[in-house]
A and B are shown apart, each in its own frame.
Chain A
Amino acid sequence: MESGLNVMTQRVVITGLGVVSPIGIGVCEFWKAALEGRCGISAIRSFDPFPVDDYRSRIAGQIENFSPDELLDSPHWQRVDRYAQFGLVSVKEAMADAGLLLEREDPHRVGVIVGVGMGGMVMGEREITQLYEQQRPQRVHPNFIPVITLNSASGIIALATGAKGPNLTISTACSSSAHAIGQALECIRNARADVVITVGADASITPLVFAGFCSLRALSTKYNDTPTKASRPFDRGRDGFVMGEGAGALILESLDHARSRQARIYAEVAGYAATSEAYHMVIPKEDGDEVATTMTFALRDAGVAPDEVGYINAHATSTSVGDAVEIKALKKVFEHRVEKLAVNATKSMIGHTLGAAGAIAAVATTMEIQTGKIHPTLNYDDPDPACALPGISASMQERKIDVALINAFGFGSNNAAVVLKRFAE
């Protein structure tokens, strides 16, 4: 019996990983690039058929040469938008990595939970534009509705895998897939599923969405000529986030189930918290209290004390206010121990992948727990005094991590925190 844990609920572990990112498709490629500190941010060549010259920001974390037909065996990808294709590819990898075969499972005990921020905007924008230009409603593509409904990824992933358990989509903007992981944790803890294929995916480097983020003055504009310098969380020179695209997938399952099929266990998902600041649609509360509360709740849920935490995968989008608020909150939760934490920002390499960000951060965190190597925070060259911590580094750090915390905050005033632990019997 596990002492100190609620034995009535299932412990939940991670047994498989998959990723599609601007620095690599597949965990091996992604992780190698991350440890080398490679940056996947580049100039947007054009929004075919018009140039990007009039956009204030003209850079993004883009996935070049993505070929779903080569990466996927079944033609399911033809039915869905780019973001869901990313999701399918990441799931295929995670399922193989976990050795999870649906034919050996009760399919109704395998769920799919996907975090999505924007969804099928590639087709969405094209069809909307054509309709308004041509005013020919008969020419709206019949697949438009199935593609743009936000659960198109979770639906197609169920079709592709045969998973017949709970099939849900969580859409909370930039924190979507951190909440997806949290909801998957709850689902398994409450014995509504044994396994949840947990995914985050987004691909909305599209003319309208990109223009919208530009108009919000949320994106970096100072580094259009030096794209790899643009995403610089915690650095004094940061001036907004860089849009990215991608997907991350994690196979979450109950410890009993993982043991019964002798699966390799990467880490334990030990705790989760979801809160709302009820404050502002796009600005975090500047005192950091709500972010601190979210982290505290997640640690409490995991049954760990702040001094057990060794590492933070920060939300850190490289915005002026957001990064400083997060550090302020860390200081509130960890007090003097904040100096001992290792902290990094995955977005410094791939930009902000919106609905995929939490899942990709969780893949990185899992690899960090596994390898003891913490990827660098790129462009942390001139630490902002409001953000500086000794455990943030522009170089790779080596450190054994037993307990890690992942932060994710979303528009609409919502916060998520997820606790991962090194697995111990």
Chain B
Amino acid sequence: MIADQIVTALADYLKRDKKSIQLNHTLREDLGLDSMSTIELVYQIEDVFDLEVPNEDLVKLTTVGSVVDYVENRLRLSGKTKAPKQSES
């Protein structure tokens, strides 16, 4: 569910088919996201999952899978069990 939402958000942002986005893809090399694009992605993730991602965690977000793991962990730690809200964009 979370993986699907993140991949969908990435596919929307990159204007490409979501099937072409794999969990082992790196954000920078494979998907071509520069640091500004990554920050925009994180901004969307914060909104959709009602999270706040501190600066020191940004370096952990290297692959699609690492983003998914990070969001899952954060949601588990915060005890949030509700379904993520739909992105408004």
Contacts and interface: CB of A to CB of B under 8 A. Distances in A.
B88 to A, nearest CB: 12
A142 interface: yes
B47 A143 contact: no
Interface in B10-63: 15, 36, 39-40, 43, 46-47, 52
A336 interface: no
B15 A75 contact: yes
Nearest to B41: A142
B40 A143 contact: yes
Chain B interface main SS type: helix
A75 B12 CA distance: 13
Contacts of A75: 15
Contacts of A141: 40, 43
A138 interface: yes
A142 B15 contact: no
Q: How large is the interface on A (under 10, 10 to 19, 20 to 34, 35 or more residues)?
A: under 10
Interface in A45-84: 75
A389 to B, nearest CB: 53
A142 B40 contact: yes
Chain A interface main SS type: helix
A139 interface: yes
Interface residues of B, number: 8
Interface string A126-165: 0000000000001101110010000000000000000000
A138 to B, nearest CB: 6
A146 B36 CA distance: 10
Interface in B48-81: 52
A139 B52 CA distance: 10
Contacts of A139: 46-47
B52 A138 contact: yes
B89 to A, nearest CB: 11
B46 A138 contact: yes
Contacts of B15: 75
A125 B58 CA distance: 28
A49 to B, nearest CB: 13
B27 to A, nearest CB: 15
Nearest to B42: A142
Contacts of A142: 36, 39-40, 43
A143 B43 CA distance: 10
B32 to A, nearest CB: 11
A142 B41 CA distance: 10
A420 to B, nearest CB: 40
Nearest to A146: B36
Contacts of B52: 138
Contacts of B43: 141-142
B55 to A, nearest CB: 11
Interface of A: 75, 138-139, 141-143, 146
Interface of B: 15, 36, 39-40, 43, 46-47, 52
14 contacts: A75-B15, A138-B46, A138-B52, A139-B46, A139-B47, A141-B40, A141-B43, A142-B36, A142-B39, A142-B40, A142-B43, A143-B36, A143-B40, A146-B36
Given A142-B36, A142-B40, A143-B36, 10 more contacts: A75-B15, A138-B46, A138-B52, A139-B46, A141-B40, A141-B43, A142-B39, A142-B43, A143-B40, A146-B36
Q: List 6 A-B pairs, minimum CB-CB distance, nearest first.
A: A142-B39, A142-B43, A142-B40, A138-B52, A143-B40, A141-B43
